[in-house]
Chain A
Amino acid sequence: MTTVAVKPATMAQALTRALRDAMAADPSVHVLGEDVGTLGGVFRVTDGLAKEFGEDRCTDTPLAEAGILGTAVGMAMYGLRPVVEMQFDAFAYPAFEQLISHVARMRNRTRGRMPLPITVRVPYGGGIGGVEHHSDSSEAYYMATPGLHVVTPATVADAYGLLRAAIASDDPVVFLEPKRLYWSKDAWNPEDPQTVEPIGRAVVRRSGRSATLITYGPSVPVCLEAAEAARAEGWDLEVVDLRSLVPFDDETVCASVRRTGRAVVVHESGSFSGPGGEIAARVTERCFHHLEAPVLRVAGFDIPYPPPMLERHHLPGVDRILDAVARLQWEAES
């Protein structure tokens, strides 16, 4: 734990700093995407990079996601370490063929002779009042594709640490950035050398004894808020922030559930065939004899992402989480 006095910073600033530090440390790191150069990205995450490192290192590409990722594959084949920005979750879909048929498989296809160290940054999720196609939770698609790592930060420090780890990884990483946390602030010391996080480790954000909320990305602050509110009901909730969806940290998750005996998975993505189904199955398979109740899911509805004026009804909030916690068969204890 650092004891250095630190200033508050936003997640977007931490991401920018991670890109800048990675580019300064390694000349093979190249950033490419739509509007990432002169404008600094629509969320300003690449702000200043083209100016500092030149347009050959931070490149405004033509507006074509398959082309961006496809050329990044070729760049990685030649020894570069591309960091690709997809402007929004739903705008990443044209790049799926490149991602699934090439990025995810090239190492395997070539028996390890041609790894592709590509980071694909994808702003994802809702809660920012975005119109259609700007708020999707696309993580389940990526999680279902072998060969990809899938990570998502929930804190300012993790945004920095996980992005540095993603860029340093010799495997392709889909780096999901929770849009509504871009402007979240946290005390964070960018000079702390301990900030590169290992990919694949979940973390307990809040300790508790009654039940475990398993969550990630944009839903982490919601779960922490729910845990605070739950105290009034007499529940002491533990919150596990997965950080890495692939690889999945069964160890940390199951250790928590074995302690509490109850679990709720919380995410914005729809529940049918969503990440929560996989997580609930994994927990049930491993912790069955410790469970006091079925593992429940609190998720977005199985609907196309709603228009902004209705999105608050879709997104899992404190009340929906507490309702689920209430259904964890407490009466059996008394």
Chain B
Amino acid sequence: MTVMEQRGAYRPTPPPAWQPRTDPAPLLPDAEPHRVLGTEAAAQADPELLRRLYAQLVLGRRYNAQATALTKQGRLAVYPSSTGQEACEVAAALVLQERDWLFPSYRDTLAAVARGVDPVEALTLLRGDWHTGYDPHEHRVAPLCTPLATQLPHAVGLAHAARLKGDDVVALALVGDGGTSEGDFHEALNFAAVWQAPVVFLVQNNGFAISVPLAKQTAAPSLAHKAVGYGMPGRLVDGNDAVAVHEVLGDAVRHARAGGGPTLVEAVTYRIEAHTNADDATRYRGDAEVETWREHDPILLLERELTARGLLDDETKQAARDAAETLAADLRARMNQDATLDPMDLFAHVYAEPTPQLREQRALLRAELEAEGEEGR
């Protein structure tokens, strides 16, 4: 038989039928960020929740201002402010149950505080007397994470472990728009979806990764759209609408708790302050842009709604302000005391037991300290 005859006789077997692994349509985010405040839906919002969010936002704004002031006074080494992003910070803390876990980045000390962490302990990293100032197990808040997006796989692993143990625990992880470009963002979302881990990812898209705007960070239709590639739902929300963020995150947490797997939430917000006190935002953005966002301020939006519904009398306003001033005064007073430092702590927690080499180095430091002490006499 000739080759051509053989070919003529060849009847290819059709490949196995192809089907998408999952229907992408229900995973897609809405075309516009979800909003409640300023819409008809706002009338349905629980007055108690509105007041609670309001009090927390006012507290959060004051906390940011106080921490920024402490930095200018030299009491903090550096402070990445979440001014303008308080709705995300507060809602992330409020949607969680006590047994749940929060995984903050370095800009999320407010979320940790809103969850119950002592503000002084939350700011230990930025004051510089240690790295993590609080016991992560006490309020189930993971250490503030500086390397971008690396906390996301931790949240996935913890949520997965809790589910393996049969515990009803959800993990909520915070990351910024810049962090979504990191490999760990991709790996965490992929693991979470494959394992159907009870975890919620909240991307606070505040417009900038230090100086680099989102347009240079991604070509995706939105950051929420990235969810679809992992087979998880993506939700887009107005990050300055505290009620909307609370609703979307609450839904995602309930979905995860019910065994529905992970959700990616993109909250569109804006970093009103520079990246940190050490940054100069005038080098990469104009005042006009910042002013536009100030008019879309999370506290302002909530105040308008509360006022329109007659829920914000002077007394409520004053009570929120008083609570904020109390927090600020306490923070100021305690941060103005010099930190207690023990250089020997440098060796105390590197290993469960110091290695022989560390014992030698510890002895060296102790001798140096003793010599210093004698000189000082």
Nearest B-chain residue to A100, judged by Cβ: B147
Interface residues of B in 135-184 (CB under 8 A from A): 135-137, 142-143, 147, 150, 152-162, 164-165, 171, 183-184
A13-21, A109-117, A179-187, A322-330 - the one binding chain B: A109-117
Shortest C-beta distance, A254 to chain B (Å), equals 11
Q: Is the CB of B150 within 8 A of A77?
A: no
Q: Is the CB of B190 within 8 A of A67?
A: yes
Residues from chain B with a CB closer than 8 A to the CB of A107 are 349-352
Q: Is the CB of B143 within 8 A of A80?
A: no
Shortest C-beta distance, A76 to chain B (Å), equals 8
Known A-B contacts A110-B135, A111-B132; the reply to A67 vs B153 at CB < 8 A is yes
Shortest C-beta distance, A284 to chain B (Å), equals 16
CA distance A12 to B296 in the complex (A): 63
B187, CB-defined interface residue at 8 Å: yes
Residues from chain B with a CB closer than 8 A to the CB of A75 are 157-158, 160-161
B318, CB-defined interface residue at 8 Å: no
CA distance A64 to B171 in the complex (A): 21
Q: Is the CB of B158 within 8 A of A171?
A: no
B122, CB-defined interface residue at 8 Å: no
Residues from chain B with a CB closer than 8 A to the CB of A56 are 164
Q: Is the CB of B350 within 8 A of A147?
A: yes
Interface residues of B in 330-377 (CB under 8 A from A): 345, 348-352, 355-357
Known A-B contacts A67-B153, A67-B187, A75-B158; the reply to A114 vs B164 at CB < 8 A is no
Residues from chain A with a CB closer than 8 A to the CB of B152 are 70
A222-230, A243-251, A304-312 - the one binding chain B: A243-251
A170, CB-defined interface residue at 8 Å: yes
A176, CB-defined interface residue at 8 Å: no
Q: Is the CB of B143 within 8 A of A70?
A: no
Residues from chain B with a CB closer than 8 A to the CB of A200 are 355-356
Partner of A74, one of B143, B156, B165, B348: B156
Shortest C-beta distance, B366 to chain A (Å), equals 19
| B-contact bits for A79-109, CB 8 A (1 contact / 0 none) | 1100000000000001001100110011111
Known A-B contacts A73-B153, A75-B158, A247-B355; the reply to A67 vs B165 at CB < 8 A is no
Q: Is the CB of B356 within 8 A of A74?
A: no
Nearest A-chain residue to B355, judged by Cβ: A247
Residues from chain B with a CB closer than 8 A to the CB of A108 are 131, 349-350
Shortest C-beta distance, A170 to chain B (Å), equals 5
Nearest A-chain residue to B183, judged by Cβ: A66
CA distance A61 to B152 in the complex (A): 16
A72, CB-defined interface residue at 8 Å: yes
CA distance A200 to B190 in the complex (A): 38
Indicate the member of A69, A105, A110 with the most B CB atoms within 10 Å: A110
Nearest A-chain residue to B148, judged by Cβ: A97
Q: Is the CB of A109 within 8 A of B157?
A: no
Residues from chain B with a CB closer than 8 A to the CB of A248 are 355-357
Nearest A-chain residue to B171, judged by Cβ: A74
CA distance A28 to B357 in the complex (A): 31
B272, CB-defined interface residue at 8 Å: no
B194, CB-defined interface residue at 8 Å: yes
A62, CB-defined interface residue at 8 Å: yes
Known A-B contacts A106-B143, A112-B348, A170-B352; the reply to A78 vs B357 at CB < 8 A is no
Residues from chain B with a CB closer than 8 A to the CB of A8 are none
Nearest B-chain residue to A59, judged by Cβ: B195
CA distance A146 to B361 in the complex (A): 13
B110, CB-defined interface residue at 8 Å: no
Residues from chain B with a CB closer than 8 A to the CB of A102 are 147, 150, 154
Residues from chain A with a CB closer than 8 A to the CB of B131 are 105, 108-110
A71, CB-defined interface residue at 8 Å: yes
B293, CB-defined interface residue at 8 Å: no
Partner of B147, one of A73, A101, A171: A101
Known A-B contacts A97-B150, A111-B130; the reply to A73 vs B355 at CB < 8 A is no
Residues from chain A with a CB closer than 8 A to the CB of B92 are none
Q: Report which A residues bind B (CB closer than 8 A).
A: 30, 56, 61-62, 64, 66-67, 69-80, 94, 97-98, 101-102, 105-115, 146-147, 149, 169-171, 200, 246-248, 250-251
Q: Report which B residues bind A (CB closer than 8 A).
A: 130-132, 135-137, 142-143, 147, 150, 152-162, 164-165, 171, 183-184, 186-188, 190-191, 194, 345, 348-352, 355-357
- Identify 9 new A-B residue pairs, CB closer than 8 A, beyond the known A56-B164, A74-B155: A62-B191, A67-B190, A69-B153, A70-B154, A74-B161, A79-B165, A101-B150, A147-B350, A250-B356
The 10 A-B residue pairs with the shortest CB-CB distance, nearest first, are A74-B157, A70-B153, A67-B187, A71-B157, A247-B355, A74-B158, A78-B161, A74-B154, A109-B131, A75-B161
22 A-B residue pairs with Cβ-Cβ distance under 8 Å, sorted by A, are A30-B164, A62-B187, A66-B183, A67-B156, A71-B154, A74-B153, A74-B157, A74-B161, A74-B171, A78-B157, A79-B161, A79-B165, A94-B183, A98-B184, A107-B352, A108-B350, A110-B132, A110-B136, A113-B132, A113-B136, A114-B137, A248-B357
